[in-house]
């Protein structure tokens, strides 16, 4: 059999083998930009919908290249049947991404010469074939590899494998057209010791061509297991750079937390200069990298935690019932239309993990919690009032805006590591001008 190329990237595409409610302050504001996965070159995305020990895991394949060369291998806790595998709609990941992405909002100052009562706190604060079936079975037994299940779903041919040792699994995969990069055997061994199985998928070219697909669709698997985890170590074997992973965790309870790594909220609710509106991509990527380095590259970042029934401000509308079902939410009560009722509740936690093998030596392990505290990565632009101001309060207002702009400059420098003088040069500072003395005399 002709050897095939291999691409190892981060989990999800776990394209690792290539065949040859607490009260919260209102966030109100005008949404103007978001930090979605388009900011990252190869950001893998995963949806995990879980209630009790029931899990639906959706994997997005961001593979670029010839589909005949694509395959993925994912460690799974149980043997999966055909009915437990589903090919989904890639738009659902885009919807979740848009809904939960960190966002930029803007406010516009009122005329300081108009008396208005407002509360500032509210504003904010397919299977490789052997030479023959019989010889193939003999080889599998001798290597300690068993094909537990074999089927086709959509454009994918699926194998569920079990193995007794990583040497045997490595040899079996190699003999069947899979080339294993150095270091894979050692990483496979812990999964075998845990009696985990291996979900192997490749593209069924006939089905793919008949359907006219232009891009690989995500794969969802449904299973029951006490293990609440996401394997990421296989994706690190020959990764040449840091990997970005966005995990959308859907639960009927509240926030989902990591148990074996620390989670840190991204810096949020910071006022930043007006020019960042045109440079939000550069701002967020710089800020995230700065935060990542500050935390010694060993934490997961919480970018969003919210009840799916609402958003404030909305960078995208909450997912409707059909979309939630596509995302794997299985606990919705079809007899009720109230999304926020106890049986229909969906809480989303968005975690952003940037990882390398030395900083993240273990797979991600999660736990559901009842914490319903709301959080979002949110950044604020406050535009000064630019209309005519004919009152004694105008000059004081301009001085306060000038002070505010300097604080925004310092905040931006601290968040991103950008040169503070370069930032100042981009800011249009408000100039305060003295008010003619006669205006105060006659209250003009």
Q: Is 41 helix (H, G, I), strand (E, B) or coil?
A: coil
Strand 262-265 versus strand 256-258 pairing type: unpaired
Q: Could you tell me if residue 144 is left (phi over 0), alpha (psi between -120 and 50 degrees) or otherwise beta?
A: left
Give yes or no for a contact between 303 and 266, defined as CB atoms under 8 angstroms apart: yes
| Tokens at 353, concatenated | 């993990």
- Note down pLDDT in tens along the chain; length 444 residues: 323 222 233 333 334 333 333 333 344 557 788 888 888 767 789 999 999 999 999 998 766 667 777 778 889 999 999 999 999 999 999 999 999 999 999 999 999 888 543 434 434 333 334 344 445 555 566 788 999 999 999 989 999 999 998 888 888 877 876 666 667 778 888 999 999 999 988 888 787 777 666 678 899 999 999 999 999 887 666 566 788 999 999 999 999 999 999 999 999 999 999 999 999 999 999 999 999 999 999 999 999 999 998 888 888 999 999 999 999 999 987 544 445 444 458 999 999 999 988 889 899 999 999 999 999 999 999 999 988 888 888 888 988 999 999 999 999 999 999 999 999 999 999 876 555 566 556 654
Dist. CA 158–CA 199, nearest whole Å: 7
Dist. CA 67–CA 208, nearest whole Å: 9
- 157 burial type by CB count under 10 A (0-12 exposed, 13-18 middle, 19+ buried): buried
Q: Could you tell me if residue 358 is left (phi over 0), alpha (psi between -120 and 50 degrees) or otherwise beta?
A: alpha
Q: In Å, what is the CA distance from 414 to each residue of 189, 306, 402, 411?
A: 44, 27, 19, 5
- 70 burial type by CB count under 10 A (0-12 exposed, 13-18 middle, 19+ buried): buried
Dist. CA 248–CA 93, nearest whole Å: 9
Domain parsing of the chain, residue ranges: 30-383, 384-444
Give yes or no for a contact between 100 and 304, defined as CB atoms under 8 angstroms apart: yes
Element (H, E) at 138: helix 133-143
Give yes or no for a contact between 364 and 235, defined as CB atoms under 8 angstroms apart: no
Strand 156-163 versus strand 197-203 pairing type: antiparallel
| pTM of the complete model | 0.84
Q: Is 429 helix (H, G, I), strand (E, B) or coil?
A: coil
Helix, strand, coil percentages for the chain (3-state, nearest 5): 30, 25, 45
Rg, C-alpha atoms of the chain: 26
Dist. CA 146–CA 167, nearest whole Å: 14
pLDDT at 441: 64
Helices and strands of the chain, counted as H and E runs: 11, 20
Beta bridge partners of 428: none
| Tokens at 37, concatenated | 């996965």
């Amino acid at each position: 059999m002709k050897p095939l190329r291999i691409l190892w990237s981060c989990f999800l595409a776990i394209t690792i083998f290539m065949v040859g409610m607490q009260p919260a302050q209102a966030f109100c504001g005008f949404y103007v930009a978001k930090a979605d996965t388009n900011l990252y070159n190869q950001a893998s995305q995963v949806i995990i919908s879980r209630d009790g020990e029931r899990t639906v895991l959706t994997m997005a394949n961001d593979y670029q290249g010839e589909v005949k060369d694509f395959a993925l291998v994912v460690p799974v806790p149980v043997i999966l049947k055909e009915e437990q595998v589903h090919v989904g709609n890639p738009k659902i990941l885009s919807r979740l991404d848009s809904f939960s992405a960190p966002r930029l909002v803007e406010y516009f100052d009122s005329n300081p010469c108009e008396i208005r009562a407002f509360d500032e706190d509210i504003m904010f604060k397919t299977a490789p074939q052997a030479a023959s079936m019989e010889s193939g079975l003999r080889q599998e037994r001798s290597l300690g590899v068993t094909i537990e299940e074999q089927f086709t779903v959509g454009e994918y041919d699926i194998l569920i494998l079990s193995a007794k040792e990583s040497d045997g699994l490595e040899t079996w995969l190699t003999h069947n057209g899979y080339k294993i990069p150095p270091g894979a055997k050692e990483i496979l061994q812990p999964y075998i010791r845990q009696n985990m199985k291996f979900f192997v998928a490749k593209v069924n070219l006939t089905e793919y061509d008949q359907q006219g697909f232009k891009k690989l669709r995500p794969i969802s698997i449904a299973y029951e297991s006490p293990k609440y985890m996401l394997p990421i170590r296989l994706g690190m074997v020959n990764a040449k750079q840091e990997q970005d992973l966005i995990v959308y965790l859907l639960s009927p309870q509240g926030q989902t937390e990591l148990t074996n790594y620390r989670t840190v909220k991204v810096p949020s609710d910071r006022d930043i200069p007006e020019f960042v509106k045109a440079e939000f991509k550069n701002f967020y990527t710089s800020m995230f990298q700065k935060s990542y380095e500050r935390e010694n590259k060993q934490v997961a970042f919480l970018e969003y935690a919210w009840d799916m029934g609402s958003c404030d401000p909305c960078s995208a509308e909450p997912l409707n019932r059909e979309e939630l079902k596509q995302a794997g939410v299985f606990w919705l009560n079809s007899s009720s239309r109230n999304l926020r009722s106890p049986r229909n509740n969906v809480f989303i936690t968005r975690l952003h993990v940037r990882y390398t093998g030395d900083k993240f030596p273990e797979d991600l392990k999660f736990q559901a919690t009842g914490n319903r505290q709301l959080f979002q990565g949110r950044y604020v632009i406050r535009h000064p009032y630019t209309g005519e101001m004919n009152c004694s309060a105008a000059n004081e207002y301009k001085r306060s805006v000038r002070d505010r702009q300097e604080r925004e400059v310092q905040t931006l420098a601290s968040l991103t590591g950008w040169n503070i003088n370069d930032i100042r040069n981009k800011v249009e500072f408000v100039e305060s001008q003295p008010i003619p003395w006669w205006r105060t005399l006659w209250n003009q």
